[in-house]
Structure formats: structure tokens, C-alpha cells
Structure 1
Amino acid sequence: MATIALIGSNLTLIGASHNLVVHSLLKESQGAGFGFFEFSIVGICLLLASFLYIFFIGRYLLPHRQKLDNPRNSTVTANLIQEYDLKNKLFEAWVSTDLEGKHLSIAALDLYGKYGLDLLEVVREGSKFVALDDFDLQSGDTLLLKGTEQAAKDFCEYYSGITYMGPPRAQEKYPISSAELAEAVVPPRSPVMGKTPKEINFREDYSLTVIGYYRDGKPHASYAQDVKLKEGDGLLFYGPRNAIRDFEPTKEILIYYKPGIPEVSAKKEILAPLATAILLAVVVVSVADLVPISVAAIGGATLMVLAGIINPAKAYDAIDWKIIVLIGGMYPLGIALVQSGTADMIGDGLVNVLGGYGALIVMAGISLLTMILTQPIHNAVVAIIMTPIAINAAELMGSNPRAFCIAVMVSCSSTFLMSVGHPAPLMVQIPGNYNAVDYIKFGLPLNIIAMAVILIIIPLFWPL
């Protein structure tokens, strides 16, 4: 996954930050940068070759890892059921045909007041509802109750049209398929302190039910709706998946922990076509060269925020300021390499040593040096250093600077031997339990493949 992400950066000009760095330096030097898809053919060839290597060879070079359970089937919900001691406090009741023609509302049942039971949901013809007080039961409905077993039995015995069914089947998976559990903590000075969950109207306003609370190191599952909240209380919410995911209280009110793998909420799904249109517009405007890529990208991001697709705080948090500062601080280095004559000196050295073998070997030397540097150093920084050198070497050889710059871009993306040169290989290190030797065994052939693509494909489309 990490290697394909790195290789995929060679498909478009905006695939990676180092592409834009090389593009900018080339434009300053030669008067014209790269087109949006100009070097995509190189990325496609490298991607296909890497797929073949990974499928037939690479996967056998990595140690076998035990397959992990799908986190959707094993994480937050099951843990919270155990943590709040709910395993034997969930029961089902079935509404029989005896109730047909009669009107029985949830309010009339007084489940909570008489029996201390929480009605979590009603299942009707395969659909599931968060039943409020004005919800009328119908024959064939199944009620999901939370409380003590005796209370559930007492309730069903009182109403002749309601039959006690016992605990839900496959309780270990409850309620992943249709709803979820989530936890929140009451922070200091929260305005909800001193109020009960019933008074806050979580159920009416957000379709969420507080079915338990955690206080003084102990879980409490009974009469959770009536407890006056204190600082540090943990609240266990139950609700439909969309309601759980859409609930976003401020941290001053509740510190809320959404469960499982982040998902797109129903509200955001509606905006998906608009987000796609904005992305396509950015690409079209960039390809047509109507405005600079930076302007198109910032404009697209601004539209995303204004349309409510992403809120400003999340957009701000998504910016990696360390990388921006790093690139901004290092960019003058590339200019200094040119103006101080250092790029000429290094380029002269490469040409003096390798120039007798031809431009292709000089390009290979620059690519190899770039690949070595980009293993421990961020690829954007390496691009800043190597692009002026590559342009100077190409000019000294009377060769094509664009070809040399594409070689630098592909080499900068070949961060396969170490985990520290780019976030992608670092992100998979812990989940895959990879060590330094794993990276070298798996990555070295990929570097060789990348070098082969540079030396074969680039000269075909950009003659040296």
C-alpha cells in the first residue's frame, strides 16, 4: 500500500509536493514547467512494473503476519458492552397479533418509570426506529430493551400482547449492523453538569439514548437517564449509526469519542457530488493552464469549506505545517545552489566523471544520488537540492533538462529502503510490524525497477 502510494505520485503534477518543487524550479530556469499529465506515462509504466514485482515476488520477501480481525467486527462496540457490563442486560420482546387494532404508544408503556427499562429501538419489517414517546406499536414489532431480566419479564407479563423473547441472538455483534455505541466524558465546567440526560434531550434532539454511565471507576447501567451529571462522568450512547456519526458536541460540553473506523455521515454523503465537481474543476483548470496550480488548489479548498464539505477547523488541522515550513525554509537553498555556483560545481563534477559515457549515464548518476538522499531526507527537500544540479548537468551535456527533471521526480518518489524519508512507509511500519531489513529486502528491487523505468521510458518520450 505504501509503495503504491509513493509510485502513484508520478501520475500527475500534483501527486506529491516534490513534483511541484521540480516544476517550479524548472519553470524558473527554462521558462516553462510541466503539464498536468505530461509525465503520466512514466508513472503508469512504473506502476505496472511494480504491480508485477509485488504480486509475483515482493509479497514473498516480507515475513508472514497473522491476519488481524476486521476492526469493524472487534473494536469499540464489543469493548463498551463489556466495559459497561451490558452483556446480560439486553433483551428482546415481540408484539403479537393480539395488539392488532389497538393503539399503544411508547409513552403509555412507561417503560422507564415503571420498570427501569430503556427502549433502545423498535424493529418493524426489517427497518429499525428510535422510538420516541408518540411512537405507536404495531403487531410484529420487536422491542430491544435494556435493563434487568426480571424487569423485562415483568413488563411482558403485564401486557398480554407482548411476549418476552430473551437476550438478542449473537449478542457479541450487537449492535454493529444497524447502530453503534459511543462514549463521551463530561469535561470540567461543562454546562451539562447538574443536569440529567433526560433533561438534555439527547433522545429527542439527536436520536441518541444514554444507556449507561461510568463514575468512580464503576459502570452503572440502571436509571442512567435520571442521574445528575458530574465532572468526569463517562456516558454510554446508543443510537443509529448515522446519528452516532453526526453527533458533534463541542469539547466544552462533552468530549466525544466516535466509534470504529471513521465513516462519511449521511449529511456529508449528500455533498459528495459537489465535492467531486469541485475536484474535477480544479483538475480541468490546472490542465487547461487557466490559472497556476496553486491558485486552482487554494480556490478548490476554499469552495470545499464554503460549501460545508469540510469545516475550517478540520481544514486547518489537515495542513502539515512542519512540511510547509521545511519546504519554505529549504527553497532558498535551491536558489543559493544556483547563484553561488554550487550547482555548477556539482554538475561539472558529475559530467567530468560520467560525461564520457553519455547523457544517459549522467542521468543515471543523478537518479542514483537522488534515490540515496531521499531515503533519510524528505523528498521535497531532496528535490530542492537535486533539481538545479540536474538542470545544470543537462545543459553541460547539451541534453534535455526536462528529461533530467523527470528523472529527479521519479527518484524522489523511490523512498523504499527506509521508513523515515516519507510518511507513507512510516505509517505501515507498526501495523505491519516491519523492521529495517524488511524495508531493504522489499524496497531494493523496487529501486532497481524505478531506475530501469527512468533509463528506458524517459529517453523514449524525452530524447536526450
Structure 2
Amino acid sequence: MNFEIIFVLVGLIGMLVALIMDKMRPGIVLLSLVVVFMAAGIITPKQMVAGFSNRGMITVALLFLVSEGVRQSGALATVIKKLLPERKMSVTQAQLRLLPVVSAFSAFLNNTPVVVIFAPIVKNWAKKVGLSCTKFLIPLSYATILGGLCTLIGTSTNLVVHGMMIDRGLPGLKMFDLAFIGIPITIVGLLFILLTSKKLLPAERPDNFEEEEADAAEESGKHIVEVVLASRFPGLKRKLKSFDFKRRYGAEIKEIRQGGQVITENLGEVRLQEGDTLVLLADEAFTKTWGDSSVFLMMTNGKEIPSRPMPVWKKWTALALLLIMIIGATIGELPYFQERFPNVKMDMFFFAAVTAVVMAWLKIFPPKKYTKYISWDILITIACAFAISAAMEESGLASLIAEFIKSVSGSLGAWGALALLYFVTLVITELITNNAAAALAFPLALETASQFGVDPMPFFIAICIAASAGFATPIGYQTNLIVQGAGNYKFTDFVKIGLPMDIIVMILSITLIPLIWPFGN
């Protein structure tokens, strides 16, 4: 191995360690590594910034705005309320009504706002009809993940792989290319949830204080509120005693749910993390002021959180624009339209840009606050991922690892390499973040296909699935973190149902992908 290979390898190991330790946001970790690679001459300044102009990355940013427009329209909340029955029914019957619809929505919207909208509604409904919310919140998160596997825009990971393909001069993915594998996986995954969640998921764990304090709180004009901390919460990584939460937000923290643990004593010593659920004693002013704030991912207080008033016509307009975007991006790349409009590339980037701007013009989301609806850390992570991918290729590390994968695969050939690449990508996404996993795996997929002399498409599809299908840990996907605190789940609750899900999805993927996209050798 030459110096460049060793340097890049050590840098990647350091990046993985930093991401696992969670001392800094993923975006700044990857940006730090990219700057080091540029300073060492591994990549050029042009390669360093190339990802910031990539159509896939910018499409992700635009889709954040589209998803926010649909969320603020209230259309999704209206639909889900009509789906949930007024009377008590079995857990399986209720899941059967809820989960397929959730998957369908998440195929076209960012998964996080879908869970943010549905989780409080489902939790309140479950309490109202006497069912355990723990039987629904993890399945809700899993259903959004499964739905995201079905389309190009279902998750940012798919757009990352799509953008990297275009960068290499490849055609990229079409809107429903992933549906051929995503829909079978979603059907099997939902069936698994319906058949096993009742036994594998825990019964609802009672709150330590709610029964004792709720009535007293109501008498004093206050009530119990649960909030999930977002990446923009200013007190992240700080001990609670050094961050005066009550002075800033006018609410008293009674309990912190962090990493599957419920903390009620020595709260001042707790270092706050993204995804923590805080159980607060607050008045009505708190929910009115902070109900739609970007510092909290989700807020619930056992009843409806007031939202921005939205005329009925805006609800239907938001859904109509979403539908036009999906249909337009699907048919816009057909040869007929490409011949008629040779100077306009009517792809997902085109229609997402038009939709986001029209939503801003119509004030479906507040145009003056549009920057707060974009997750800049995710965008920086994605942009830097392109540079890291370039460093792996330029240094020769990707080629070296691809040779190793080929030797390990042995007699299993390209199929064995596909299975190994899928497994490695899955492990990385369970431990750190899905976009970083896709970035690391993409150059390996390209080089491995080259080593075997086969079509790289099966490897690209495997990356899309493996980098998104993180079920076994709450840190594998942001929606898992959101429902962990809301449902008072332990880490092991995800392992019990998520690990079998990981195995099922992996077996399905490595079996079906070569049949749908043959290696061609």
C-alpha cells in the first residue's frame, strides 16, 4: 500500500470512530475529513466542493421544503385521523389500517415529518381507545423506512446514490426503479410486523410521575408535555445544570428519556443529546410558542398541539402539487418528452425546484422562514460524502478493498460480493448514519463491479437498500430515535424486532436484486 492509501484509510477509520463517539455533528466530522484530504493533496479544491453543486444533494434540500409544505398544510394529519377507528380493535387490525398508508406516504415524503405528524396522533389515539402505544410507534417508524425504499425520493440515501451515478456519467435512477425491489420488501416487512409485533414489542411502560402529578398539574393550569430534541436545540452536548431550560422555555423538566433509559434524578448532570425526549410541566403558552419550533422535532401533550391556521384550499393545493411533482418526474424522463423539450431536463430536480418555489409563493410554508425547514447538517454530510468517495477512488483505496472483496467472495463470485457489500453497508448505517454509509459504499460498489466485469447496477441498488434499512438500533435512522423516547422504548426493544427485520430484508435483497438487475457477465 502506498502512502495515499494508508492516509485515506486512517482518515476513514478516524471518521467512523468520531461518528460513533458522537462528539460532533456528522456534517462537521465529514467536513473535517474532507479538509484534511484536500490539505494533504489527496483531492483538489474542486473535488472538495463538487458535492455542494450536485443535483442529488440540492434535490434533497428542495424536498425538505416540499415535505414541510405538505406537513404544514395539515393534509396528512387529516388523513391519518380518518384512518384511526373511534372504537377499540385488535392491535393487528389497527396496524393493518395504519401501516400500509404510512408506507405509501413515506415513499414520496421525507420520513421524519411523516413520523413527527403521525406519532403524537397515534399515541393519543392509542391511549383514548385503551391500546398500548408501544405496539404502534416502532412499527410506525419501520413502515416509513420500508416506504422510503420504494422510490427515488423516498429517502435522501437514494438521491445520494443517484447523484453519484450521474457524476460518473451513468444514467442514474428513475422515480420507480427501486419499486421493483422496494415493494416486495415492504410487503414482506409489513407482514412480519403484523405477525410478530404483538409478541416482540413490549407492553406500555407507565410513566414514573404521570398518574401522581397530572391531576395536580391540571389544577395549577399546567399539563404534561413531551418534546423530542432536534439538532437545532441550543443545549445539545451541555449538562442540563449549565443550560437554564426553565428560564429559556418557561417549562420545568420532570424526566429525561435518553438512549432507552428513563432519568428522573440528578437531572442537572445529564448531558442533553439529539433525540432525547424531555417530559415537561408546562402551561398552554409553551405549546403555542414552541409547538412549531425547529428546536423540537416533535411535541405532544395528550391533545392537539395548535398549528398554523391553513385554509382548506391550501391543503388540497399542497397535495396536488406533490402529485404533479411525482407524475411530472416520472413521465418527464420518457423519450417522448425528452425529444419534445431537448433543452429542459424534466427530472426530479426540475419538478422539486418548481414545487418548492410555488409552495413558497403560495405561502403553504412561511417563505421568510424557509431556511429553518432544511436540515443543513444532512446536506453538508451528503456534499462531503461525494468528496470522500473521490478520495477513496483517487488514492486507490476503493480498488484495493474491491480486490479484497473479490478474494473473500471466492466461488460465490459477484453474488457473494453483493452480499458482503450489503452487509458492510448495513453495519455502517446501524452504527453511524445512512448517508455516510452510502458514500463509503458507492466507490466500493463501482470498483467491485469493475473487478468482476459486471454491471454495477445491482451493487448500487444494494447500497440504496442497505443504507436505508436500519431497523436493529435506534440510532440507525432518525425516525427510530424519535419514537424511542415517545414510546419509552429500551435499546433491546429495537434489537428484538429490528434484527430479524434486518436479516429478512437482507436475504430478500441479495436474492431478488440479481434477478431484477442481472450482473450481465
Work out the CA distance in 1 between the residues paired with 2:506 and 2:418: 10
Report what 1:445 is aligned to.
500
Work out the CA distance in 2 between the residues paired with 1:338 and 1:281: 39
Structure 2 residue corresponding to 1:407, chosen from 458, 462, 470: 462
Work out the CA distance in 1 between the residues paired with 2:204 and 2:196: 17
After TM superposition, give the deviation of residue 430 of structure 1 in Å.
1.1
Matched, 1:278 2:327: no
CA distance 1:79–1:236, shift in 2 (3 Å): farther
After TM superposition, give the deviation of residue 417 of structure 1 in Å.
1.8
Structure 1: which 5+ residue stretches go unaligned?
86-186, 188-233, 238-243, 249-256
Report what 1:351 is aligned to.
406
Q: How does 1:285-364 map to 2 (within 5 A)?
A: 285-287=328-330, 288-289=332-333, 290-364=345-419
Work out the CA distance in 2 between the residues paired with 1:267 and 1:259: 22
Structure 2: which 5+ residue stretches go unaligned?
1-139, 223-247, 249-281, 292-299, 334-344
8 Å Cα contact 2:189/2:501 also seen in 1: yes
Report what 1:430 is aligned to.
485
Q: How does 1:17-28 map to 2 (within 5 A)?
A: 17-28=156-167
Amino acid at match of 1:312: P
Amino acid at match of 2:313: I
After TM superposition, give the deviation of residue 302 of structure 1 in Å.
1.4
Q: How does 1:28-427 map to 2 (within 5 A)?
A: 28-66=167-205, 82-84=219-221, 260-262=303-305, 267-287=310-330, 288-289=332-333, 290-427=345-482
After TM superposition, give the deviation of residue 375 of structure 1 in Å.
0.6
- Cα distance per residue 1:164-200 (max 9 Å; x no partner): xxxxxxxxxxxxxxxxxxxxxxx9xxxxxxxxxxxxx
CA distance 1:317–1:355, shift in 2 (3 Å): same
After TM superposition, give the deviation of residue 393 of structure 1 in Å.
0.7
- Cα distance per residue 1:245-304 (max 9 Å; x no partner): 99x9xxxxxxxx999434666633221221122212222232223434234223211111
CA distance 1:300–1:262, shift in 2 (3 Å): farther
8 Å Cα contact 1:268/1:309 also seen in 2: no
Amino acid at match of 2:506: M
CA distance 1:455–1:81, shift in 2 (3 Å): closer
CA distance 1:423–1:313, shift in 2 (3 Å): farther
8 Å Cα contact 1:11/1:37 also seen in 2: yes
After TM superposition, give the deviation of residue 428 of structure 1 in Å.
1.0
SS of 2:419's partner is: helix
After TM superposition, give the deviation of residue 59 of structure 1 in Å.
3.3
Work out the CA distance in 1 between the residues paired with 2:444 and 2:190: 31
After TM superposition, give the deviation of residue 308 of structure 1 in Å.
1.4
8 Å Cα contact 2:406/2:413 also seen in 1: no
- Cα distance per residue 1:185-242 (max 9 Å; x no partner): xx9xxxxxxxxxxxxxxxxxxxxxxxxxxxxxxxxxxxxxxxxxxxxxx9989xxxxx
CA distance 1:275–1:341, shift in 2 (3 Å): same
CA distance 1:453–1:314, shift in 2 (3 Å): farther
Report what 2:510 is aligned to.
455
Larger strand fraction of residues: 1
Report what 2:274 is aligned to.
none
Report what 2:67 is aligned to.
none
After TM superposition, give the deviation of residue 459 of structure 1 in Å.
1.7
Identity of aligned residues (%): 27
Work out the CA distance in 2 between the residues paired with 1:21 and 1:48: 25
8 Å Cα contact 2:425/2:441 also seen in 1: yes
Higher relative contact order structure (alpha carbons within 8 Å, sequence separation ≥ 6): 2
Work out the CA distance in 2 between the residues paired with 1:235 and 1:65: 26
8 Å Cα contact 1:25/1:388 also seen in 2: no
8 Å Cα contact 1:10/1:43 also seen in 2: yes
SS of 1:366's partner is: helix
After TM superposition, give the deviation of residue 67 of structure 1 in Å.
8.2
Work out the CA distance in 1 between the residues paired with 2:493 and 2:283: 44
After TM superposition, give the deviation of residue 432 of structure 1 in Å.
1.9
Report what 1:2 is aligned to.
141
Amino acid at match of 1:56: L
8 Å Cα contact 1:286/1:296 also seen in 2: yes
Report what 1:11 is aligned to.
150
Larger helix fraction of residues: 2
Q: Tell me the TM-score normalized by structure 1.
A: 0.58
- Cα distance per residue 1:119-177 (max 9 Å; x no partner): xxxxxxxxxxxxxxxxxxxxxxxxxxxxxxxxxxxxxxxxxxxxxxxxxxxxxxxxxxx
- Cα distance per residue 1:364-404 (max 9 Å; x no partner): 00000101111111101110110110121112212221111
Work out the CA distance in 2 between the residues paired with 1:236 and 1:418: 35
Work out the CA distance in 2 between the residues paired with 1:442 and 1:380: 23
Work out the CA distance in 1 between the residues paired with 2:471 and 2:504: 11
Report what 2:53 is aligned to.
none
Rg bigger for which structure? 1
SS of 1:38's partner is: coil
Work out the CA distance in 2 between the residues paired with 1:319 and 1:259: 28
8 Å Cα contact 1:347/1:389 also seen in 2: yes
8 Å Cα contact 1:355/1:397 also seen in 2: no
Could you say what the CA RMSD is over the residues aligned between the two structures, in angstroms?
3.6
SS of 2:168's partner is: helix
8 Å Cα contact 1:50/1:446 also seen in 2: yes
Amino acid at match of 2:190: F
8 Å Cα contact 1:245/1:258 also seen in 2: no
CA distance 1:84–1:352, shift in 2 (3 Å): closer
Work out the CA distance in 2 between the residues paired with 1:235 and 1:347: 58
Work out the CA distance in 1 between the residues paired with 2:311 and 2:353: 21
SS of 1:420's partner is: helix
8 Å Cα contact 2:205/2:488 also seen in 1: no
CA distance 1:54–1:313, shift in 2 (3 Å): same
Work out the CA distance in 2 between the residues paired with 1:291 and 1:342: 36
SS of 2:406's partner is: helix
